[in-house]
Amino acid sequence: MRESHQAIPKSTAVTRAPAVKSLLTLSGSHLLNRILDEERPAALIRRLPEEDFYWIVKRIGEADCLQILRLASEAQWEYLFDLEVWEKDRLDGDRLLSWLARVGEADPERAAAWLLGQGDGLFSLLISEKADVVVKDGDEEADLEGGYFTLDGRFFIRPIRDEDREAVEGLLRILAKKDHRAYQALLYGLAALIPAEAEEELYRLRNGRLAEHGFLPYEEALAVYS
């Protein structure tokens, strides 16, 4: 299993309700079917601690977890991102794009609201890494090379890698559909973004959230275990 989060828990002791222990003994497909067979599967998932939700997603597998992501809360999504999309103190853009694309497919409405709100800093840093964004104001002609797309005739976006195009464009489309002004504000804000500072601040916030779950930051954990 890929240990991507690079954070180490202060204690490995986890107290789980018997029902959760029973769920986590099931294999991926059986676990998914067991949850979906519940009368209120969303209520079951959302009352789980974030730690148990994470392990259920990992047991089901990234390729098959869309229905579980649809049932989850935004706090559970964020915990999943905190563990999955960081490599030590660096954001793993490929992992983040993959997970955001899954969440966007699972629940476009809520995903867009989260990305335009609490997750805007994370998404802005991702777009600054994954795409070139050109702003054309007024009657300025869009004389650009091939590969750019636009949703409004003002912002022209070209993913740096062809393999990222579908995911990048898909996420931007759900944001523009949700709130076009907020979508434009986010893209305007990229001009003032300083990636190194933004990443450092996101890492600090992420460590603060994980500390509430008993995790030590990577550097502190190394000092303790050395």
Span 105-136, pLDDT tens digits? 999 999 999 999 999 999 999 999 999 999 98
User: Is pTM beyond 0.75 here?
Assistant: yes
Q: If DSSP codes are grouped into helix, strand and coil, which group holds residue 27?
A: coil
Over residues 6-60, the pLDDT tens digits come to 554 444 334 454 466 677 777 778 899 999 999 999 999 999 999 999 999 999 9
Q: Is the pLDDT of residue 143 over 80?
A: no
Q: Is the pLDDT of residue 192 over 50?
A: yes
Give the confidence band of 146 by pLDDT, cuts at 50, 70, 90: confident
Q: Is the pLDDT of residue 210 over 80?
A: yes
Q: Is the pLDDT of residue 4 over 80?
A: no
Percent of the chain with pLDDT over 90: 74
Measured from the Cβ of residue 51, the count of other Cβ atoms closer than 10 Å reads 17
Mean pLDDT of all residues in 87-103: 97
pLDDT score of 219: 59
Q: Is the pLDDT of residue 5 over 60?
A: no
DSSP per-residue string spanning 111-178: HHHHHHTTTHHHHHHHHHHHEEEEE--TT------TT-EESSSSEEEEESSGGGHHHHHHHHHHHHHH
Distance CA(66)–CA(108), nearest Å, equals 12
pLDDT score of 10: 45
* Mean of per-residue pLDDT scores for the chain: 87
Q: Is the pLDDT of residue 1 over 60?
A: no
